[in-house]
Structure 1
Amino acid sequence: MTKRANAKYKIDRRMGENIWGRPKSPVNKREYGPGQHGQRRKGKMSDFGTQLKAKQKLKGYYANLSERQFRKTYDEAIRLTGDSSENLIGLLERRLDMVVYRSKFVPTIFAARQFVSHGHVKVNGKRVTIASIRLRAGDTIELTDKAKGLATVLEAVQLAERDTPDYIEVDHKGMTARLVRIPALSDVPYPVQMQPNLVVEYYSR
């Protein structure tokens, strides 16, 4: 099990949103936060609070990255030319575990991180076990022969709750995928609204 697998739905409840769009999310039944005071009326959130929530939601969506990993990604995004918020999304979506998840080879992003670390994925023909490695446009991934027959993979491919985005070409018969291009924010199929511009504001204070 990954370190956050058993607690991933706590993120949903804390945010008050079903951030992965999963049918089992507790937010589908009750949208208020956890704890005995979860149903209390919330006051108006400060600018800092709004920015912090945007950061926590985006960080949580990507398998609850550590603060160090997420800050490092932000630092890289602002060094690149162009819009920093778009750069941030592009860097996050290029992660190997994210491409595996988007390709529907696994049911959750948490499972994708574990899947890669167990050596089930090849990048351009070479086995890779580092989930955070970033792909470039044109790179291909392929599942190992053993992974192609796993029940979790076969079940994930049939999931109707999400589709593969158009910036990834997927062959579910051959269990391969190719990153066609680096996506923009508008290309990414988030189940809820993400605000990377507020994340940039948070870190640039």
Structure 2
Amino acid sequence: MVDNPLSTMFGMVGVVYGLFAPLTIILLLLLFVFAGMHTPGAKVQKVLQATYCVIMMSIGILLMTVAAIPTVASVLASMSYSGSTYIAFLTLFLTGGAVFLHHDRWLQSIDQASALVPSLVYLYLFKAIGVLATLLSLLSLLLTLIFGGGDTGWWVMPTTVLLYGLLVMWSTRTEQSPAQFLPHIGTPAKGRKKHGRK
């Protein structure tokens, strides 16, 4: 039983998650709307919906990552968790997958002009995450080898993060997702004739 719930709500953690997180989301939404409205044919409501979708898709990927990384690390380290732990990992992974797929399908139903900016930001965000995860894990492995290695199994987590980074880089290696929006942006309307020199 909590003696003083207000101290919990207004403590450091409560302030960060209860105040700064919503403010950050609001600022992101405003930024996406401002940038998205510069795309011809974009609608405010649809830009907000697309932004919401990419945020929820990112949360879905985060849930799947939280479940997958410890599982892969345990396989590489030849160790095992309890059955309930694996069930918890599976629940997290399935929940994240369901969240991702639902909002990915929703994003595909939004008009192309409104979804352009959120889709591009989403793509390049994960491109950056993949590159950073790969670089940092490679540097960790290399520097540890240079300094003579570490404790038993020191390589497990850097290798797991390296595999994760390579997977993300492979998943974002092309721009097929946002590219489907690009050809339709700024296309002349039907019936409009080009004027050239006679």
TM-score after normalising by structure 2: 0.25
- Structure whose alpha-carbon radius of gyration is higher: 2
The structure in which a higher percent of residues are helix is: 2
The structure in which a higher percent of residues are strand is: 1
